[in-house]
Amino acid sequence: MEALQNLDLGNLDVSTEVLLAFAMTYGPRIIGSVLTLVLGLWLAGLAGRVVKAMLSRGKVDPSLGSFLSSLLSILLKVLVYITALGVLGIEMTSFIAILGAAGLAIGLALSGTLQNFAGGVMILFFKYFKVGDFIEAQGYMGSVKEIQIFVTVLTTPDNKTIILPNGPLATGSLTNFSTEPLRRVDWTFGIAYGDDVDKAYEVLGRLIADDERILKDPAPFMAVSALADSSVNIVLRAWVNAGDFWPVHFKMNEMVYKTFDKEGLSIPFPQRDVHIYQAGPSE
């Protein structure tokens, strides 16, 4: 029994020495790593909030401000974790090399996704368009419903949802119909050969004056644009507020159709004249 007790006490002494040696060696590293982690994460969160507040005071778009502050916070937190592991004594050279190789492999596999991510950053930063704008891009037209990091969501006039990747959207051609307060409406109306052109001008001018949505300045423009095969084409151009573009366009088409006939002006359709000659007796 005494031998067993002596053996246990001996093991206890060895264990105590090992624990003390471990505490003396790794204790400061563990404490330093924990302090680094706690303080670093707090500073990273604080930096993210400060940047977001600064962008907000600078009247930066809220979507862009939130994205940039979140991105900065994530990058700082990753840096804090790496620093804490270094303070703990873990060799970071090999870890960073492995992380870099993994990042390269993931980047190559997700190259398209990264392009869309970069495109989203460009759209948010340079403000090619914003939520609510009516745009045409990549063969689609619609109102911008949402700008996400990887895609932009459009709603078409017939209420379809179109999802466009941000990469091609940021680097390709794009038409934004909402950036300017005014838009020009163009029409081409045909009258028959032999109809009075001045009469057509007078009727169109009256229709323009009757529609209060058509602006007087810039002044509307009318002219004969072409002597076509079956009609004399008159081009009409008028300026309206951007929101009135389609209502004015459709209403003018309707009024011209109703009024030209009453005023004795014909709207011709494609036609072909066939001449028949009667052959003489000698033929």
Question: How confident is the model at residue 164, as a pLDDT?
Answer: 92
Q: What is the CATH number of the domain that holds 69?
A: 1.10.287.1260
Domain that holds residue 206: 182-262
β-pair type (151-155, 161-165): antiparallel
Does the reported pTM lie above 0.75?
no
Average pLDDT over residues 198-224: 95
Q: What are phi and psi of 175, to 5 degrees?
A: -115, 125
DSSP codes joined into one string, 81-129: HHHHHHHHT--HHHHHHHHHHHHHHHHHHTHHHHHHHHHHHHHHHHTS-
Q: If you average pLDDT over every residue of the chain, what do you get? A: 81
Indicate whether 69 pLDDT > 90: no
CA-CA distance, 85 to 37, in Å (whole number)?
9
- Both tokens assigned to 110: 């997700």
Residue 150 · residue 116 · CB < 8 Å: yes
CA-CA distance, 59 to 216, in Å (whole number)?
35
Q: What is the CATH number of the domain that holds 197?
A: 3.30.70.100
Question: How sure is the predictor about 271, in pLDDT bands with cuts at 50, 70 and 90?
Answer: low
Question: How sure is the predictor about 222, in pLDDT bands with cuts at 50, 70 and 90?
Answer: very high
Q: Would residue 273 count as lying in a domain? A: no
CA-CA distance, 258 to 236, in Å (whole number)?
17
b/e code 85-107 from CB counts within 10 Å (16+ = b):
bbbbeeeeeeeeeeeeeeeeeee
Per the structure, how many domains does the chain have? Answer: 3
For residues 60 and 139, membership in a common domain is answered with: no
